[in-house]
Structure 1
Amino acid sequence: MGTRAGQVVVHHVEHGTGLPVLVLHGAGVDHREAEACFEPALDAVPGLRRIYPDLPGMGRTPAPETLRSADDVLGTLLDFADEVTGRRSFLLIGHSAGAYFARAMAARRRAQVAGLALVCPLLPGLRDVPEHRVADGSGAIGDDVFRSYFVVQTPEMLARYERFVAPAAALVDRAALERIGERWELTPGSGPAYAGPTVLVAGRLDSTVGYAAAVGLLDDHPHASLAVVDGAGHALPHEQPELLRGLLAEWLARVQRSRRPGTDAPACTGP
């Protein structure tokens, strides 16, 4: 389905009913990767309406010439969130570049965002990014993109890549992403970072964004849990699905507690 957000019609798929959960994928893919990685965990929790959009310039969401920076994309995503949630409470999950936008959205919609999950987040000031190395497998299967993305290079991971990641390449608007990428750093928002229930998940072997910058977010998010996962890289949602499921379950339990009166975490308005 498509929802107009400003000048952009954002394509997305939905599952379930209840509290909206907006799940944002990373760069160069589309909603299918996020759906494959997060839906098994979220589907097990009743009362969640899971929303998986294609970000502008990827999948079936266009990126018109008016989108010329990350700030422009952020504005589109905020408009989209307002439209699909009716400006009521929702959860935010992001992977990679999707996590970069999710964090900024939470900071600008503090009263609406009931919880924030950042997985392998892209952040300004990346540091101590390790060299890519294979943790499991021969390193001799798949194409160059697979071998540079996954550190678990087994036939099972190759099958996931070929089904949920590779097909998106043909749909990427390369010119649009290059245009937006020239101004990829978001303008800092005013006020403190998001203070609601948060989970930060990083791959210790992540050669794309590393894990050190994610660890540094702990001081900014007073109700954040942090997991740095060995045996996982930037494709952590594929490579460590059971661990990710457990971390998300614990986070969702904290979200539920925070929405009750009398808790120490800030409760958010919502349905």
Structure 2
Amino acid sequence: MAMSKNNINYKAYGSGTPILFIHGNSLNKDSMEQVYEPIFQNSNDYYRVYIDLPGMGRSSDTGINNSDDMLDALLTFIHELDITNQLILFGHSYGGYLCLGLMHRMQDSVIGAHLNAPVIYAQNDDRILEENENIIEQKITTDNPDEDYQNYLDINTRINNQTWQKYMAQIAPGLHQADPEFLDYLHREDNTHYKLSCESKFNISNRTTITLVLGKRDNIVGYRDQLNYFAHMPNTSLYVFDDAGHHTFIDNYQSNEAIVTHFLNAINTQQ
């Protein structure tokens, strides 16, 4: 059932330990819900909350001038939904960046974070990026707009019918729904306002269990910055795929369930 709180559109399933899923920039909750809900759908242990970030999907951009406002809106949402106790976070790209902000602001509340290709540095000049070289596994025949297919080729690595279908189901809906004016506004002045004010001083509890999933062909956020940042953090599992780009959950979709299961087991062991 779709609901709204604090101008944030969300969908929730199940009961138990709360998990908040935060999608990437210009996407919507489909990119998280369609990837992870099939893994959790038979679980009785977790309360899963999938959101549209403010200004994306069906959520209002009211009061959002920068990423600090975005983080504050998420904190208000979390408190209003009363999911502050033993919270687990899943974040992709910009969603992963916001997860870092939440872990910084909620050190005693967040027990785990599953970060898929997270932004570490908001400004492009600070990032070490890779080239995405497509691995053509199948010829794709499509009636979809050329723009969708070109975007798929630009960001995905493994090119086959399965990853194309997943791209269209998980990524394209958010891009089609995106508000270009708001996104341009958020990224104005060379991402100065996209950058969290706490970026240079993220402080994450050593008790937080972290899983980091990266692709070596990621041309959006790279993977080296993330490895350098998390390599010496305790309770951290690192997955780096040679044959994946920014969407490892699509390029290597067969690995999603095993990685998530290991992550949840690690949290339970740590607790």
Shared fold (TM-score greater than 0.5)? yes
Taking every aligned residue pair, what percent have the same amino acid on both sides?
23
Give the secondary structure class of the aligned counterpart of 2:53: coil
C-alpha separation in 2, matches of 1:191 and 1:206: 23
Q: Which 4+ residue blocks in structure 1 deviate beyond 4 angstroms?
A: 138-142
Deviations 1:148-202 (CA, angstroms, capped at 9, x unpaired): 1211111121112222221222321211121122211101176732321111110
> 1:154 aligned to 2:160?
yes
Q: Distance in 1 between matches of 2:259 and 2:43?
A: 13
Matched length: 254
Question: Gapped runs of 5+ residues in structure 1?
Answer: 260-271
Candidates 36, 39, 42, aligned match of 1:38:
36
Q: CA RMSD in A?
A: 1.9
**Closer, same or farther: CA 89–147 of 1 in aligned 2, 3 Å:** same
Task: Name the CA distance, whole Å, in 1 between partners of 2:140 and 2:255.
Answer: 26
Compared CA separation, residues 40 and 153, structure 1 to 2 (3 A):
same
Q: Give the match's secondary structure for 1:94.
A: strand
| 1:186 equivalenced with 2:187 (yes/no) | no
Alignment of 1:143-222 (within 5 A): 143-182=149-188, 183-188=193-198, 192-195=203-206, 196-219=208-231, 221-222=233-234
**Displacement after TM superposition at 1:126 (Å):** 1.7
- Judged with a 3 Å threshold, the aligned counterparts in structure 2 of structure 1 residues 211 and 84 are, in CA distance, closer, same or farther, namely same
Residue type of the partner of 2:204?
Answer: A
Q: Which residue of 2 aligns with 1:123?
A: 120
CA distance in 2, matches of 1:112, 1:169: 32
CA contact (8 A) 2:118 2:226 kept: yes
Contact 1:38–1:237 (8 Å) recurs in 2? no
- Give the SS at the match of 2:47: strand
Secondary structure in 1 matching 2:186: helix
Alpha-carbon distance in 1 for matches of 2:176, 2:140: 24
Preserved CA contact (<8 Å) 2:140 2:160: no
Q: Which amino acid in the other structure matches residue 67 of structure 2?
A: A
**DSSP-derived class of the 1:145 partner:** helix
Partner secondary structure for residue 30 of structure 2:
helix
Q: Which amino acid aligns with 2:154?
A: S
What is the TM-score of this pair, normalised by structure 2?
0.87
Q: Call closer, same or farther: CA 1:170–1:109 in 2, change over 3 Å.
A: same
> Cα distance, 1:116 vs. partner?
0.9
Q: Quick one: structure 1 residues 42 and 22, their matched pair in 2 at CA, closer, same or farther if it must change by over 3 Å? A: same
Provide the C-alpha distance between the structure 1 equivalents of 2:240 and 2:153, rounded to a whole number of angstroms: 21
Which of 16, 19, 24 in structure 1 is aligned with 2:17? 19
CA contact (8 A) 1:97 1:122 kept: yes
Give the match's secondary structure for 2:115.
strand
Q: One-letter code of the match for 1:194?
A: S
- Decide whether the 8 Å contact of 1:99 with 1:122 is kept in 2: yes
Q: How does 1:101-116 map to 2 (within 5 A)?
A: 101-116=98-113
Q: Quick one: which amino acid aligns to residue 112 of structure 1?
A: S
Kindly indicate whether the alpha-carbon contact (under 8 Å) linking 2:13 and 2:49 is maintained by their aligned counterparts in 1.
Answer: yes
Question: 1:45 deviation in Å?
Answer: 4.4
CA contact (8 A) 1:35 1:52 kept: yes
Cα deviation 1:199-257 (Å, max 9, x = unaligned): 11101111111110110122563221111112111111112123232122111111112
Corresponding letter in the other structure for 1:188: C
What letter matches 2:81 in structure 1?
A: V
**2:66 is aligned with 1:69:** yes
2: CA distance between counterparts of 1:122 and 1:229?
17
Residues 4-46 of structure 1 show CA distances to partners (whole Å, capped at 9, x for unaligned) of 33xxx10011111111100111112110111111223333544
The structure-2 alpha-carbon separation of the partners of 1:109 and 1:139, relative to structure 1 and needing over 3 Å to count, comes to: farther
Deviation at 1:78, TM superposition (A): 1.2
